[in-house]
Structure 1
Amino acid sequence: MTHNTPTPQDLRIEKRDMKFGREISPPRWWHSGDPGRTAFFNALSSTFPVGEKFFMTAVRHYRDGAPEPLRGQIDDFLYQESMHSREHVVFNRQAEDAGFDIAPLEDRARRTIAWVKRRSPLQQLAATCALEHFTATLAHDALADPRHLDGATEEAKRLWQWHAMEEIEHKAVAFDTYLHATRNMTPFRRWLKRSLVMCVTTMRFHYVIFRNTADLLRQDERNDFATWRKLLSYLYGRPGTLRLLLLGVFTYMRPGFHPWQIDDRSLLTKALAMLETGEPKRTAA
């Protein structure tokens, strides 16, 4: 159960202070003019500010005892997550400006995080590893397949691409912190703990996201079979945002898993090009 694909030694976790959506008010259904897709991404965004603050607290708890270069990577992780939290606060306020009531969604995320905070620091770190794996999986898929964000407004697309790029950069920081924190555990016990926490986290994540999505669809009077059929086809069919997420859960629970067993840094160059020009950078087949 050794983790034989460690974080690359030449990895750079960049500190970027980027701002989005300060000058443009997006339409109510900013993703493809579709209430379902818009509700899903708004539901996801509503969890980010409180979720990312939780991630920061869980990882920071182990910072002082961490060796270099992990300690420096934790500092970079904390910076990136603080920027993500700030920008999604703005994004969520834009959803409110478009007429959505986001407060119940944020309260649901807060209650879930409060439940996790009643657990030990190590369990909180394991939950952070699981959720960071979710965001890294979503990030990889969003950058690898343009269909996930096709039809979104340009500013929203740039926000989600930037967020995805940085999730890939720091995707192993929480996991490496967990490996350090559990260095005196047997490999089996370390694997068992993170796998059990992943099972619980997967169920709670889906509960929160689908409840939040349903809340938003009710506000649009679109919480009906036709809207959900179309949305579930998008999420579990093609491009399959949540289908790929569930496949990633099985990958995570494999003994010996490490996030950098998939080195997807090549996607960062593509993402940077899109942020700079608004268009995908074409690469040779």
Structure 2
Amino acid sequence: MSGAADPIARHPIGPRRVAFEWKTTPLHWIPDEPTATHVINVLHLLLPAGERWFVRVLKEGLPLVTDPELRSDVKGFMGQEATHSVQHSYVLDHLAEQRLPTEAYTRHVDFLFEKLLGEAPPFGVPVTAREWLRFRLAVVAAIEQFTAVLGDWVLRADGLDRAGADEIMLDLLRWHGAEEVEHRSVAFDMYQHCGGTGLPRYARRVEGMVVVAPVLAWLWVWGASYLIRNDPELGGRQRYSLGAHNRAVAKGLLPPWRELGTAIPRYFRRSYHPSQEGSLRRAVEYLAASPAARAAAGAVGRAAMS
């Protein structure tokens, strides 16, 4: 969801040491909606490795950041993404306890981020270290375009509440989504800072999105198909289908295709900046109300007073 730049002034970015209790969360945490449940569950398959990779790439580029304000934001971004990775890993453990192991899928995700997008170009591709870092920063910025859009969507997704979605999972998704909106500009700003100047910088930004959009779509369909096919409660009786996906979209349980698709041409505009995405005010309001974030803030306050 796009619009004018958010009216909230500069907002400090930092990790919240949240925790979630998964023991009572059912496998189909959106009742009677296995397709919607597992399409969203793909986040848990992608994010542990993906967000660890974000942290590594930005840490590699951090010495190049000369602006102290941006440097502070990047460090806060890294802390938030590290926390996201850990919390989504716990959901994978919970899925395994419910007889839905995910290693057969996640090992491919690990290979993508650790080998194909690792510190050195794969297969001996003749790219300089500087250009390889710039390309990976462009990839992070492009992925963050989608996480900001998804984060703003889940904060507005009343359909999930109407469907009786599990409160713990909703809090995880909305806490994470709110932080994605909160730091929506950081990866983009770092790329702009470190990515050179002029047309080459813009072309590399476009290249990042051209790579990210189809790969992310492919990973998502593959992940949803994997989860539905291996769901022990479905017993192999169901497969991922576009029809079921679209019915979930119509119920407000998944983001509309148009909302995701229009994020791409927005990103291609030369004048684009992620501050145009979503509502920082909505994100900050949720973070002030989130049970997990409030508990984390209370623990920090108690520790400071002891």
- TM-score between the two structures when normalised by the length of structure 1: 0.86
Shift of 1:44: 1.9
Aligned equivalents of 1:32, 1:99: Cα separation in 2? 18
In the alignment, which of 180, 187, 195 is matched to residue 206 of structure 2? 195
Say whether residues 1:256 and 2:271 are aligned partners.
Answer: yes
Which residue does the alignment assign to 1:89?
89
Say whether residues 1:132 and 2:144 are aligned partners.
Answer: yes
Shift of 1:99: 1.4
> Which letter maps to 1:42?
N
* Unaligned segments of structure 1, at least 5 residues: 279-285
> Which letter maps to 1:194?
R
> Which letter maps to 2:197?
M
Determine if contact 1:139/1:167 at 8 Å carries over to the other structure.
Answer: yes
> Which letter maps to 1:147?
G
Trace 1:108-257 onto structure 2 (pairs within 5 A). 108-113=108-113, 114-117=115-118, 118=121, 120-148=132-160, 150-182=163-195, 184-186=196-198, 188-220=199-231, 221-224=236-239, 228-235=242-249, 238=252, 241=255, 243=257, 244-257=259-272
Shift of 1:274: 4.4
Deviations, residues 36-76 of structure 1 (Å, cap 9, x unaligned): 11211222211101000111111112212211101111111
Shift of 1:240: 5.1
Change (3 A) 1:213 1:79: same
Partner SS for 1:31: coil
Partner SS for 1:266: helix
Determine if contact 1:49/1:84 at 8 Å carries over to the other structure.
Answer: yes
Determine if contact 1:77/1:173 at 8 Å carries over to the other structure.
Answer: yes
Larger mean Cα displacement after TM superposition, 204-213 or 9-18: 9-18
> Which letter maps to 2:227?
L
Shift of 1:112: 2.3
Change (3 A) 1:8 1:262: same
Which residue does the alignment assign to 1:38?
37
Shift of 1:137: 0.6
Aligned equivalents of 1:73, 1:101: Cα separation in 2? 36
Change (3 A) 1:271 1:125: same
Aligned equivalents of 1:256, 1:30: Cα separation in 2? 40
Q: Work out the number of aligned pairs and report it.
A: 271
Which residue does the alignment assign to 2:296?
none
Partner SS for 1:171: coil
Shift of 1:16: 0.9
Aligned equivalents of 1:9, 1:62: Cα separation in 2? 26
Aligned equivalents of 1:57, 1:7: Cα separation in 2? 32
Change (3 A) 1:36 1:274: farther
Determine if contact 1:235/1:242 at 8 Å carries over to the other structure.
Answer: yes
Shift of 1:100: 0.8
Shift of 1:89: 0.7
Identity %: 23
Aligned equivalents of 1:156, 1:260: Cα separation in 2? 27
Shift of 1:261: 2.4
Which residue does the alignment assign to 2:298?
none
Determine if contact 2:48/2:84 at 8 Å carries over to the other structure.
Answer: yes
Partner SS for 1:30: coil
Shift of 1:242: 5.3
